[in-house]
Amino acid sequence: MSNIATIPGAEDRAIADWIEARLAAALSTTPGEVAVCVPGGSTPFPILADLATRALDWSRIAVWPGDDRIVGEDHPASNVGRIRALLEPVGARIVPLAEGALPPHFAVTWLGMGADGHIASLFPNTDPDPADPIRLRRLTPDPLPPEAPFDRLTLTIPALLDSDELLIVMRGEDKRAVFDGALRGEHDLPIARLLRAARQPVTCFT
């Protein structure tokens, strides 16, 4: 997997710098709107808060969550609600997930990863297919995470891979062990399926 670069010990600001550079490059070479896919969970929001201070043409950036809990945007578990609160005030167009929606091509797909190897809401029990003909699915994780016991809408592996670059940000030795196992071909968890199918550059900050 020569297309995968791992950068250990990265601080949030360095990750925001990386994303800013990719979005600026995409804005300079792409007419019209540029789309980016971002994750939920606790890790991305300090990075997004930093990114929101950057001098990008946010009016040309569409922000899609890679997945979301099926709750109202005003619910604390809503990914899109938290994304909207940070990036809509600077001018970005925030796109909530909805059944039947057709995700675009992304300049960057940014993902987190769980200790069980899930990406977006593609948990191991959902048996995600790298050749899935559907780009957005409603799924029920099993077991349901106690901090967010809700059904999900999630982009599928083909939709996540419809991107110029992949960014993965993870924290913790347990997650790093799962990721390294995927690189070595030691398991078939969702992260491993994604990485095997990826043909674009993949940058992993740990």
In whole angstroms, how far apart are CA 23 and each of 5, 20, 33?
A: 19, 5, 11
In whole angstroms, how far apart are CA 6 and each of 2, 44, 146?
A: 11, 18, 30
Express each pLDDT in 67-104 by its tens digit.
999 999 999 999 999 999 999 999 999 999 999 999 99
Asked if omega into 190 is within 30° of 0 (cis), the reply is no
Question: What is the structure's pLDDT at 1?
Answer: 63
Question: What is the structure's pLDDT at 145?
Answer: 82
Question: What is the structure's pLDDT at 102?
Answer: 95
Q: Which residues, 6+ apart, have CB-to-CB distance to 106 below 8 Å?
A: 35, 36, 37, 64, 162, 163, 164
Question: What is the structure's pLDDT at 144?
Answer: 85
Question: What is the structure's pLDDT at 206?
Answer: 87
List per-block mean pLDDT (blocks of 10 residues) for the chain, which spans 206 residues: 86 96 96 96 92 97 97 94 96 96 97 95 96 96 86 97 97 92 94 96 94
Question: What is the structure's pLDDT at 143?
Answer: 86
d(CA 4, CA 201): 6
The per-residue b/e assignment along 3-29, b for 16 or more CB within 10 angstroms, e otherwise, is ebeeeeebebeebbebbbebbeebbee
Question: What is the structure's pLDDT at 172?
Answer: 87
Question: What is the structure's pLDDT at 164?
Answer: 97
Question: What is the structure's pLDDT at 110?
Answer: 98
Question: What is the structure's pLDDT at 167?
Answer: 98
- Class of the 4-205 domain? alpha beta
In whole angstroms, how far apart are CA 160 and each of 10, 15, 42, 49, 106?
A: 23, 19, 20, 23, 8
**Domain edges within the chain:** 4-205
